[in-house]
A and B are shown apart, each in its own frame.
Chain A
């Protein structure tokens, strides 16, 4: 609770500072707002922000650092021999935290007095029973070392929280006073506030960048762990994907990569012609009325969740393909090439349908950005519309279209749900599109769902797969953006 109060206090102080700063600024100009360097509200904001921002920043840092410091100091109190064989210090520490938490609860519910909580001895009282009464279940009896560590933990926490409130409140008050005294008609409050806005924008941008960095780093570390347990040459150059839990798994990415690329290739073979032709029709031939109606309709496809596409693959497209290519004499073609609904072709076709709006929407933008003057030039030479599209508009738009296709490819490679449901689970090298095959993404799903042990290569391989996938799509995206950007520069 004190944290909530502290934050409320900070905001109340900021609101007060806003009003006070505004009033002081207006007064310093003798009531004439035109005398001020900035509008009165800027002075208010300046005071409010100077009070609030440093205090909040310190509070956030404190909230992160305090548990770490306390953890470190308390965990030193646990003797080495207390840690059971095969267990880890962090497990004992979680016991400590639970006991401390239980004591807190007990005090709050009146089962223990504050003095009792700090003086209690594990040997004399049935601590486990009393904590169970207040709703904290412990796995075993509390050992004296753990109890004293827990008490120390509580004590440090209390002190820390007290100091935290004092320091943060003092900072807020100090900031308020400083900004308030500086408020004068000549003070450039507007510039200060705009710097604060700039800082906010930078913060937002860096959160995005740092998150990416964090994800990549965590994948990198786990991947390194994986390569500590499994040979990298098998991962990159082996030919079999056969995870088992006997310890001799063959975990090679190549069959998965083959499945991924094969399915993506089929998806692009469907999406690129259809999407591109749709874009050409919509941007060059369709009337404005049709266009305003058809384009949003096409883009609805992009809003369908991929799980729905997955159902579509499994329940509609798959059986339809089986009806064509399977079932022997009962089938449409009378052949028996396809046994189950899940296949490379099923997943590829459905993924292609998913990518159509992606390709068409990007290509449409790119075709529209080809200057009208080029079309006029071509018409002026007596070219027909289709000659103009084929020989002037498309060549001019080609780099951008290639970029769009590469972006679509990177989506196809990373797509999960459709392949989980439509592609099957067999990892193999095969050219037959009617067989089921599996992809990197589906294997990540299956390695990480269910009971997993994060110390085994069978689980950790997911990180190596994820990182490879990431590098692959990142490379494609960079290439695509490079091409698109290069093209954009031509017409500026």
Chain B
């Protein structure tokens, strides 16, 4: 399996998309993220790994300012998307989230039809000029979400009636439909069975043709399979960041090695 993923990973990675400098996150008085610097490239899958509570999800949620919805959360440092500081006062977090889409740990389809789930984002942002235009957008998103063939005959059935794996791919399609530039995935496979996981992983690899993908995962095998770059977080710090193959085969930091070989975590 390792060999296969190595082959799949041998795709040109792109230019720099997001750069974070000295990011600190506080929840009230406790500091969840300590001085993290990261560069995230276009057309690349970047994996954040690390033990539970190490801050990788918190950091991911900084990238589209989802932490703004939590009252006690405070972020310092700079995060630039295409050179523009996303925490600048002039940036509307709502617009930002349209550019930086997000897929969550648990599939969370809205209690609407499959079609309306996918059409939600395009409708809000006015991406479709007409009904037939919207139909096209929805179909394209569902095809990119690798779920079109399974749902094309029941687009108007409720999205909550799909299986767990289908729901997660629907959520990915929904995120893709707003044409984001970056796709953040917070443990997208942790609620899925192995077959659904394999389908989603395959999909992630296809998605990087169009987006920068950042994925938080608990599974090191998953990180090794889908990502080109890996960042290892421990206790709120970014311990090591580099090319996936190198992190897994030749880690520089002893803590990384301990985690990968299962001694801490």
Asked if B264 CB lies within 8 Å of chain A CBs, one says: no
Contact of B97 with A376 in the complex, beta carbons under 8 Å: no
Task: Please tell me which stretch of A185-193, A380-388, A466-474 contacts chain B, meaning at least 4 of its Cβ atoms lie within 8 angstroms of it.
Answer: A380-388
A384 to B98, CA, bound (A): 10
Given A379-B66, A380-B175, A382-B98, verify A395-B112 contact (CB < 8 Å).
yes
| Known pairs A378-B120, A381-B175; A396 contacts B106 (CB<8 A) | no
CA distance A380 to B111 in the complex (A): 16
Q: What is the 8 Å Cβ interface bit string for chain B, positions 122-133, against chain A (1 contact, 0 not)?
A: 001100000000
Query: Is the CB–CB distance between B94 and A384 below 8 Å?
Result: yes
**B102 near A: Cβ within 8 Å?**
yes
Bound complex: CA A478 to CA B108 (Å): 31
Question: Which residues from A are CB-within-8-Å of B27?
Answer: none
B178 touches which one: A371, A375, A382, A490 (CB < 8 A)?
Answer: A382
Q: Give which listed residue, A373, A375, A381, A490, contacts B97 with CB less than 8 A.
A: A381
Let me know if A377 is at the binding interface, CB within 8 A: yes
- Cross-chain contact of A381 among B69, B124, B160 (Cβ < 8 A): B124
1/0 per position for B171-198, CB-CB distance to A under 8 A?
A: 1001100100000000000000000000
CB of B41 within 8 A of chain A?
no
How far apart sit A490 and B106, CA to CA, in the bound complex (Å)?
15
Q: State in angstroms the CA–CA spacing of A378 and B120 once bound together.
A: 9
**A residues near B111, Cβ cutoff 8 Å:** 374, 395-396, 490
Bound complex: CA A375 to CA B104 (Å):
11
B101 CB within 8 Å of chain A:
yes
Q: Which residues of B contact A371 (CB under 8 A)?
A: 108
For residue B250, CB closer than 8 A to chain A, the reply is no
Tell whether A381 pairs with B178 under 8 Å between CB atoms, given A287-B71, A490-B160: yes
- On chain A, the residues within 8 Å of B64 by CB distance are 380
Interface size counted on chain B using CB atoms at 8 A = 29
Specify the main secondary structure of chain A where it touches its partner. Answer: helix
Which residues of A from 42 to 57 have beta carbons under 8 Å from B?
Answer: none
B249 lies within 8 A of chain A by Cβ: no
- Is there a chain B Cβ closer than 8 Å to A320's Cβ? no
A391 at the interface (CB under 8 A from B): yes
Residues of A within 8 A of B160 (CB): 490
| CA distance in complex: A377, B184 (Å) | 12
Q: How far is the CB of A275 from chain B (nearest CB, A)?
A: 22
Interface string of A368-410 (1 = CB under 8 A from B): 0001011111111111100100011001100000000000000
Q: For residues 97 through 119 of chain B, which have their beta carbon under 8 Å from a beta carbon of chain A? A: 97-99, 101-104, 106, 108-112
Is there contact, CB below 8 Å, between B108 and A373? Answer: yes
User: Chain B's nearest CB lies how many Å from the CB of A375?
Assistant: 8
With A384-B94, A391-B120, A490-B160 as given contacts, are A379 and B108 in contact (CB-CB < 8 Å)?
Answer: no
B141 CB to closest chain A CB, in angstroms? 12
Asked whether, in the complex, the Cβ of A392 is within 8 Å of the Cβ of B104, the reply is no
Contacts of B120 in A (CB 8 A): 378, 381, 383, 391-392
Q: B30: CB under 8 A from chain A?
A: no
CA distance A380 to B109 in the complex (A): 12
Instruction: List, in ascending order, chain B residues with CB within 8 A of A384's CB.
Output: 94
Say yes or no: B94 contacts A374, CB within 8 Å. no
> Using Cβ atoms and an 8 Å threshold, which residues of chain B touch A392?
110, 120
Q: Complex Cα distance A392/B94, Å?
A: 16
Q: Is the CB of A380 within 8 A of B66?
A: yes
Within 8 Å CB of A383, what residues of B? 94, 120-121, 124
Q: Which residues of B contact A395 (CB under 8 A)?
A: 110-112
Query: Interface on A for B, CB 8 Å cutoff?
Result: 287-288, 371, 373-384, 387, 391-392, 395-396, 490
Q: A387-B124, A395-B112 are in contact. List 15 more A-B contacts (CB 8 A).
A: A371-B108, A374-B108, A374-B111, A375-B69, A376-B66, A378-B110, A379-B94, A380-B64, A381-B97, A381-B102, A381-B120, A381-B178, A383-B121, A384-B94, A391-B120
Q: Which 4 A-B pairs have the closest CB atoms?
A: A382-B98, A380-B102, A373-B108, A382-B97
